[in-house]
Structure 1
Amino acid sequence: MQTSDKNTKTANIGVVITDPDDWTANALMKNIRKRGANAIPITLATLSASVSDSDFAIFDTDLNDLLALDAIIVRDVGISFALEQISFKFDLLRQFETANIPVMNSPTAIQNAANKFFSFYLFKQVQLPIPRTVVTSDLGVALKATKEFEIAVAKPIFGSQGKGIVKLESTQPDMKQKLATLLKKRGVLYLQQFVPNPGRDIRAFVVGEEALGAIYRISQIGSFISNLSQGGTALMCDLTEEMRALAVNAAKAVDADFAGVDLIEGDKGLFVLEVNATPSGKGIKLACGIDVTERIIGRMFEREL
């Protein structure tokens, strides 16, 4: 939005959400309104588009023209099991960008981060420490990898909230059958060497080129998954300079303006596990008192409006 526009009308900022009761979505909208702008919730699954040789439009169920928005913040794209639906959602975000509407995070950044295989390639390119990982549709390759890793973690390439993660130990007698079952279900296996750790990981929050703070996510007794949505507990973590550098560089690698970066403490030091380009800000607010959504909205206004 140009300066002249800013002086003549109130900015209309779209916030892409899936859950109207989501803490982070409401905090983003609250901080938009604190700056005197209108916060407009958008659910991509309910949008429609029309295209002809003379016109293009994106509109909601009330037929509001969404190409008139001044900027868009993406809180959550939502899980889509149909390829056509998720493709259309990202097509919509790309079309907003094509219409010169700033989108934060960009659809490219969200896709880079969401794809665990491609994000690891990007981390490798900038020499970030990552656990050994094999991606394959070959059962023999998968068996060899689990044997070499001794303990492996099978993850969905596209997944969130710790769902669908399976721990595999090479000594298990039914390993071949377990891998075959997973392969039949997923079509491809993403196998990562398990990093022995203190029963926790670290979620660092980055906005721009600054790590604002971090939380430990502590696993429940008997579980190796530390996601808060899976029963993990959030405690304040004092960021070291190494943690800060890893978090900022990982967010930068996927081209995210803001991100939650997951690190884990192994015997040989810290490893980067993944980047979430649509992170929840609730855990760090409750554990550390840091409102990352305020900084996200501040960055958007500084850069775009």
Structure 2
Amino acid sequence: MNQVQLRIGVIGIADGWSTERMLDALEQRTGFRRLIEMQDVAFDFEHGRLVHEGFDLSELDGVVVKKIAKEYSPDALDRVELIRALEGSGVRVFSRPESMYALIDRLSGTVRLRQGGIPMPPTVVTESLDEGEAAVRRLGAVMGKPLYTSKARGMEVMRAEDPELRAKLEQFKAANPVMYLQQLVDIPGRDLGVVFLGGEYLATYARVSRSGSGITSTSQGGKYEAHEPSAEIIELARKAQALYDLDFTCVDVVETADGPKVFEVSAFGGFRGLLEACKLDAAAKYADYAIATIQAARAGGVQ
């Protein structure tokens, strides 16, 4: 493969599977490799420079944001702000920081989806234990979801008939002062990851539950399988991801008796499901896309 003379870094985490795939793909094409972990950067306001281990990141042609933190928290919003400063110096960021903001916490993402008319399972967000209990009793069963999380970490099922419901809500609220309670929907043992690159449909994989828990995340025992979705599902996912203008994303869709519904849109999206289920190297495609985007912008005289 002929190498192009571009320096594109990857914001991610050391030894992260998708991060390493992205680094490998870019290095193969450009001969340049730089992992940027956000805890190691500093922004020098006096000189307007974002520096990583002594390297001025404004010297890069672009950066791909693969993973902004090992665990999501409100601190991640500050990291997005630093990346926005980097973008302001002329570095092309994939995906743009403005596109990532609404997807760092679950509540912001849900507001954007609902305002965009995207069907989702019934959801209640509250700080009140009384309102939370009323919501569970009205909805029958809910999945309590932390606002800042990934791969189903910290999620908990709560059911109206459980005599310990109030105690479970109190325990959940202790860790999650703002409670996000989403109706537990009857699903066919799987949910779908519908993936887009540059707004164009790429492929779909299924996450299949092995435990019958309703949690299909691979971190909770689920497995990946290839899947051919209906045109309806693809168009629903396309509409959902278009609300954010992301370069690469995965839309989590669930098939229900009332039609397909969206759980969430990912700010970053992973590569493993596409590779294992669909034999598709998303890192390679993303690297080609990033290079072509930067080259086209330069040819057109824009960043």
Q: Same fold (TM over 0.5)?
A: yes
Partner of 1:13: 8
Partner of 1:4: none
Instruction: Map Cα deviations across residues 175-208 of structure 1 (whole Å, 9 max, x no partner).
Output: 1121122222211100011110111111111112
The answer to whether the aligner puts 1:60 opposite 2:61 as a matched pair is: no
Matches within 5 A, 1:228-247: 228-247=218-237
Instruction: Map Cα deviations across residues 130-153 of structure 1 (whole Å, 9 max, x no partner).
Output: 111111001111111111100111
- In 1, are the aligned partners of 2:187 and 2:214 still within 8 Å (CA)? no
Alpha-carbon separation, structure 2, partners of 1:286 and 1:95: 36
Paired-residue identity, %: 25
Partner of 2:128: 138
Shift of 1:37: 5.1
The answer to whether the aligner puts 1:220 opposite 2:210 as a matched pair is: yes
- In 1, are the aligned partners of 2:190 and 2:254 still within 8 Å (CA)? yes
Matches within 5 A, 1:67-216: 67-79=58-70, 83=74, 85-216=75-206
The answer to whether the aligner puts 1:38 opposite 2:29 as a matched pair is: no
Partner of 1:23: 17
Alpha-carbon separation, structure 1, partners of 2:270 and 2:149: 15
The answer to whether the aligner puts 1:256 opposite 2:251 as a matched pair is: no
Partner of 1:265: 255
Give the secondary-structure state (helix, strand or coil) at the position aligned to 1:35: helix
- In 2, are the aligned partners of 1:213 and 1:239 still within 8 Å (CA)? no
Instruction: Map Cα deviations across residues 35-70 of structure 1 (whole Å, 9 max, x no partner).
Output: 335231111111122222xx2222222x11111111
Alpha-carbon separation, structure 2, partners of 1:240 and 1:208: 21
- In 1, are the aligned partners of 2:254 and 2:261 still within 8 Å (CA)? yes
Shift of 1:82: 6.9
- In 1, are the aligned partners of 2:209 and 2:222 still within 8 Å (CA)? yes
Alpha-carbon separation, structure 1, partners of 2:78 and 2:119: 34
Shift of 1:96: 0.7
Segments of 5+ residues of structure 2 without an aligned counterpart are 296-303
Alpha-carbon separation, structure 1, partners of 2:288 and 2:239: 21
Shift of 1:125: 2.3
- In 2, are the aligned partners of 1:201 and 1:264 still within 8 Å (CA)? yes
- In 2, are the aligned partners of 1:13 and 1:37 still within 8 Å (CA)? no
Shift of 1:27: 2.2
- In 1, are the aligned partners of 2:76 and 2:104 still within 8 Å (CA)? no
Paired amino acid for 1:49: F
- In 1, are the aligned partners of 2:191 and 2:253 still within 8 Å (CA)? yes
Moved more, 166-175 or 99-108: 99-108
Shift of 1:249: 1.6
Segments of 5+ residues of structure 1 without an aligned counterpart are 1-8
Alpha-carbon separation, structure 1, partners of 2:73 and 2:181: 24
- In 2, are the aligned partners of 1:152 and 1:191 still within 8 Å (CA)? yes
Instruction: Map Cα deviations across residues 197-253 of structure 1 (whole Å, 9 max, x no partner).
Output: 111111111112222111110112242211112221111001221121122221111
Alpha-carbon separation, structure 2, partners of 1:290 and 1:128: 28
With structure 1 as the length reference, what TM-score do the two structures score? Answer: 0.90
Give the secondary-structure state (helix, strand or coil) at the position aligned to 1:278: coil
Shift of 1:26: 2.3
Alpha-carbon separation, structure 2, partners of 1:223 and 1:177: 21
Matches within 5 A, 1:278-293: 278-293=268-283
Paired amino acid for 2:246: A
Alpha-carbon separation, structure 2, partners of 1:60 and 1:49: 9
Give the secondary-structure state (helix, strand or coil) at the position aligned to 1:122: helix
Shift of 1:121: 1.8
Shift of 1:80: 5.2
**Residues 82 and 123 (structure 1), Cα distance of their counterparts in 2 relative to 1, 3 Å cut:** closer
Shift of 1:300: 1.9
Instruction: State the superposition RMSD in angstroms.
Output: 1.8
- In 1, are the aligned partners of 2:10 and 2:63 still within 8 Å (CA)? yes
